[in-house]
Amino acid sequence: MLNKIEFKLAYISCLLIIPLGLIFTLDPIAQSQKYHLFADQSHVLGITHFYDVITNIFFAVIALWGLVKIQDKTKWPFLMGVLLVAPGSAYYHLLPTDERLLWDRLPMVIAFCSLSSWLFIKFFKISGKRSLYVLFLSNFVGLTSILYWVFKDDLRFYYWVQLAPILLLCGVSLLYSKLFNNRLYIFFAFSSYILAKILEHNDLAILNFMGISGHSLKHCFAAVAVYFLIKLDVIDKNSHKV
């Protein structure tokens, strides 16, 4: 019979390792050059792809607001990752290429992995230096996924890194519903993120329908998802509400 900690470890391992194994049963996923062909071809104030570039400001605003409001320091690396997304993504969208895409994805990986480590730390009530080890290990895995993409031209590992915090949030909230005192924020964050991905996938169609590209709107709704994750609290004597 597993004790409480052993069961948690087994549960988290299943949430993460099984999807990783399934992803690697797929054929390698190369970076398509069509990815760089965004619908937004605007040129405003001397800035090419203006709306895809300027909408990244929402990541900076939300992250800075969170850093001011949040006293729980275990969330700060996640917010720093989100803050770095703003210049990284803006730099990429000025001239979309594989080389610049690296600087778009690197801060996103920091954000995804730091969010995963925050959940892991809270779930297992880790504190002190051990929490730093978790943060370091999580981001090391994220950096490895970027290197795997760069040198192998294979996005499978990177996609799993994106998926990991979603799996953790949904899995933990389903089995341990009392861990979060505002679990509805998970639903709002998840819904906003899914909507962002839908908008991204329908980039040109959204532009033709609304006059602003789907990818530009994707930035806005992804920032909204971050807002709800900032508002999310864990029931713990050391956590602080926004």
Q: What is the CATH number of the domain that holds 73?
A: 1.20.1070
pLDDT value of residue 221: 96
In a domain, 242, yes or no: no
In a domain, 6, yes or no: no
For residue 13, pLDDT over 80 is answered with: yes
CA of residue 35 relative to chain centroid, distance: 19
Contact 53, 93 (CB under 8 A): yes
Q: For 109, how many CA atoms within 13 A lie in the half-sphere containing its CB?
A: 26
In a domain, 210, yes or no: yes
pLDDT value of residue 184: 86
Question: For residue range 103-124, what is the model confidence (pLDDT) as tens digits?
Answer: 999 999 999 999 999 988 888 8
In a domain, 41, yes or no: yes
Confidence band of 240 (pLDDT split at 50, 70, 90): very low
Write out the residue range of the structural domain in which residue 117 sits.
Answer: 27-231
pLDDT, averaged across the chain: 90
pLDDT value of residue 10: 85
pLDDT value of residue 219: 97
In a domain, 11, yes or no: no
Tokens 């370091």 locate to 136
Classify burial at 125, counting beta carbons within 10 Å of its beta carbon; exposed 0-12, middle 13-18, buried 19 or more: exposed
Number of structural domains the chain divides into? 1
Q: Three-state DSSP class for 241?
A: coil
pTM: 0.90
For residue 143, pLDDT over 80 is answered with: yes
Q: Across residues 167-174, what is the average pLDDT?
A: 85
Secondary structure E strands in 13-94? 43-44, 47-48
In a domain, 208, yes or no: yes
CA of residue 209 relative to chain centroid, distance: 28
State how far the Cα of 155 lies from the Cα of 166, in Å rounded to an integer. 18
Helix 129-152 vs helix 98-123: angle between axes, to the nearest 10 degrees? 150
In a domain, 20, yes or no: no
pLDDT value of residue 242: 47
State how far the Cα of 142 lies from the Cα of 157, in Å rounded to an integer. 9
Q: Across residues 148-160, what is the average pLDDT?
A: 95
Phi, then psi, of 48 in degrees rounded to 5: -75, 150
In a domain, 47, yes or no: yes
